[in-house]
Amino acid sequence: MTEMNRVIRGTPGFLLLPFLFIIAASGCGESASSGATGESDNTGGAGSGAGGASTGSTSAGTGGATTGSTSAVTGGAATGSTTAGAGGGATGGTGSGSSGAGTGGAPSASPTFHIFMLMGQSNMAGVADKQDSDKNSDERLKVLGGCNQPAGQWNLANPPLSDCPGEKGWNLSTSVDPGIWFGKTLLGKLPEGDTIGLVGTAESGESINTFISGGSHHQMILNKIAKAKTAENARFAGIIFHQGESDSGQSTWPGKVVQLYNEVKEAWGADYDVPFILGELPAGGCCSGHNNLVHQAADMLPEGYWITQQGTNVMDQYHFDHASVVLMGTRYGEKMIEALGW
């Protein structure tokens, strides 16, 4: 008879109960070799091996989860626990992994303010009269300044999004531009907690020469970029560009588009490439022959794209009608979503 048997046989039953309970409890949380059925697997075992889970135990193996336990090891999550290891999160517990959560289930980074440049001439500024359907009430969509709104600050985005001056005979203060529908389309895929900022720099009737260095509108672009950069969590995210009527057929135009892209990127201080999306000119207008150069420019850019004008109509020889503005803006948004991988 062993010493343990002597103790048990010589001890009254009511005193043995706590003693036996302690013995039983001490075995429940033991770890066992991986793969031992009933001990190291996930089902009913006393401990957990790699990837296993232990109910009521004191430890969980790598990748396991412990219910009601006091600790979770790497990759595990403890429900009701007091500590979570790297990669784990504690529900109802008092402790957690690094920075409040484990590396595998960390909360999303700080919300991002995705800023897009709207560039070009009148078809980007917009000419068709705006309608009620063009109105935006979503606070996640902002514009820097904008026509009929306070300059130099972020306002609720509503058309027109570029500045009113330089209208060249068109009443652009009551027009709709593709930028608003670009923004509305992006909202459908915007990461949770993020915001969109639109920076309108379009000027109607202008050559691309006015937008690159030495041009009359170049400083305006730089000033807007300087202001946009100061926004909290700002990130330069992309450019949409509709221009070419004033430079139709000029072979040097694609190279100047690349120059504009590089100058804008430099002004932002961006050490990464962003999508630059060009729009074709209306087929029924003055300058559809320019579209070969639109494609050429897109091919020359490090992240260049173009969208088709197919299915659009013009209200004169230059400008998209309202339905076509909506269509082109939506296409810009869809292409940007594709380019950004949203």
Q: What is the pLDDT of residues 202-252, one digit of tens each?
A: 999 999 999 999 999 999 999 999 999 999 999 999 999 999 999 999 999
| Residue 258 φ/ψ, nearest 5 degrees | -65, -40
Provide the pLDDT confidence category of residue 277 given band limits of 50, 70 and 90: very high
Provide the pLDDT confidence category of residue 320 given band limits of 50, 70 and 90: very high
The residue-averaged pLDDT of 97-116 equals 57
Cα separation of 50 and 73, whole Å?
Answer: 10
Provide the pLDDT confidence category of residue 99 given band limits of 50, 70 and 90: very low
Would you state the pLDDT for residue 163?
83
Cα separation of 136 and 131, whole Å?
Answer: 11
Is residue 304 predicted with pLDDT exceeding 50? yes
> CB neighbours (10 Å) of residue 285?
21
DSSP codes joined into one string, 126-141: --SBP-GGG----TTE
Is residue 47 predicted with pLDDT exceeding 80? no
The residue-averaged pLDDT of 73-96 equals 36
Is residue 1 predicted with pLDDT exceeding 90? no
Would you state the pLDDT for residue 92?
37
Of the spans 25-39, 67-81, 139-153, 156-170, which averages the highest pLDDT? 139-153
What would the two tokens of residue 190 be?
């915007």
pTM score: 0.68
Is residue 57 predicted with pLDDT exceeding 60? no
Would you state the pLDDT for residue 71?
36
Domain 113-340 falls under CATH 3.40.50.1110: yes
Sign of CA dihedral 99, 100, 101, 106: negative
Would you state the pLDDT for residue 152?
93
At 331, is the secondary structure helix, strand, or coil? helix
Closest CA to 86 of 70, 71, 75, 100: 75
Which residues are bridge partners to 144 per DSSP?
A: 154
Would you state the pLDDT for residue 75?
37
Which residues are bridge partners to 294 per DSSP?
A: none
The residue-averaged pLDDT of 15-38 equals 36
Would you state the pLDDT for residue 288?
85
